[in-house]
Chain A
Amino acid sequence: MKQTFRMVAAILLVGSIVFWVAAGANRGWTKTRVPKKVTDEVTGLEGVQWQDKFVPGIDFLGAALLGAGILAGVSFFVPAKSR
């Protein structure tokens, strides 16, 4: 049981870091929309179109690290082997 908690904590820690890096290592807040600039050829105006996209930020990373830390901490209070 102890090992299971630690394993899940490690997977959560590594998985969230890999996901955060793969998504662009955004050091700002998590985004669920990203702006895409579009230019109107006639007027020359530059507009913004928002696209739905999940970009994890440091708050996502922090929550994942906290979760991994809690799981790892809990592992110290559970018996090594369940009967």
Chain B
Amino acid sequence: MKTKLIILALMTTAVVALAAPQTFDFKDPKGINNAGFKLDAPLESINGSASGIYGTVIFDPANPGATQGKITVSTSSLIVPNPLQRQHMLGKEWLDATKFPTIVFESKEFKNVQTSGDTTTSEVTGTFTLKGVSKEITVPVKLTYLKDKLGDRVPSQKGDLLVIRANFSIKRSDFNVNPGQFEDKVSDAIEITLSIAGASPK
């Protein structure tokens, strides 16, 4: 009886250990991770992207609803094709990259979690901080858990990958980004697309 209990305890421990939450690091050695943004403008829409993305997400494949994380984008990594537009964008009137060097999203709660295979869709509520202004927003996200796929991406490492995709929109006026100014030239709404992958080495 005592042996059975010990075996049961060991098995339970093994199952708990296997299902333990994993920490995924989103600093991408391949430079693929990016946050795209689009603003409508009369002559042509302003399309750009940011590559300076880092942060961690704690994800439990057995309980995706308990996911927590914080993703940071370096403001100075934002790029648009026109150099003068980029200079204005990072300048004091717009993003003021010197004073506000990061754009941050920190999750609080995952709702409407639906998992099918390795893919989980959810609506995540969290705090979005831009130009020093923090607001609570809700963003639809898609999480894809790729078990043992880290080695395929980074041959020197073994582990898992977590892919996060999100599309959402914010208003620049909500975050004190030149509010009420030049709205005939640059739209108030900013469409954001997040495409990032994080690694959890073993």
Interface, chain A (partner B; CB < 8 A): 27-35, 38, 40, 42-50, 55, 57-58
Separation in Å of the A67 CB from the closest CB of chain B?
A: 18
Extra pairs beyond A44-B163, A47-B32 (10, CB < 8 Å): A27-B44, A28-B43, A35-B49, A38-B32, A43-B32, A45-B195, A47-B31, A48-B36, A48-B49, A50-B79
Chain B residues within 8 Å of A40, by CB: 30, 32, 153, 197
Identity of the chain B residue whose Cβ is nearest the Cβ of A29 in the assembled complex = B82
Interface, chain B (partner A; CB < 8 A): 30-34, 36, 43-44, 47, 49, 51, 79, 81-85, 144, 146, 149, 152-153, 161, 163, 165, 195-197
A-B contact count (CB 8 A): 66
In the docked arrangement, what's the CA distance between A31 and B85, Å?
Answer: 10
Identity of the chain A residue whose Cβ is nearest the Cβ of B164 in the assembled complex = A45
Separation in Å of the B156 CB from the closest CB of chain A?
A: 14
Separation in Å of the B107 CB from the closest CB of chain A?
A: 20
Residue from the list B30, B43, B79, B197 in contact with A33, Cβ < 8 A = B79
Separation in Å of the B36 CB from the closest CB of chain A?
A: 7
Chain A residues within 8 Å of B149, by CB: 42-43
Chain A residues within 8 Å of B152, by CB: 42
Does B44 contact A28, Cβ atoms closer than 8 Å?
yes
Does A47 contact B44, Cβ atoms closer than 8 Å?
no
Pick from A30, A43, A50 the residue with the most CB of B within 10 Å: A43
Does B33 contact A47, Cβ atoms closer than 8 Å?
yes
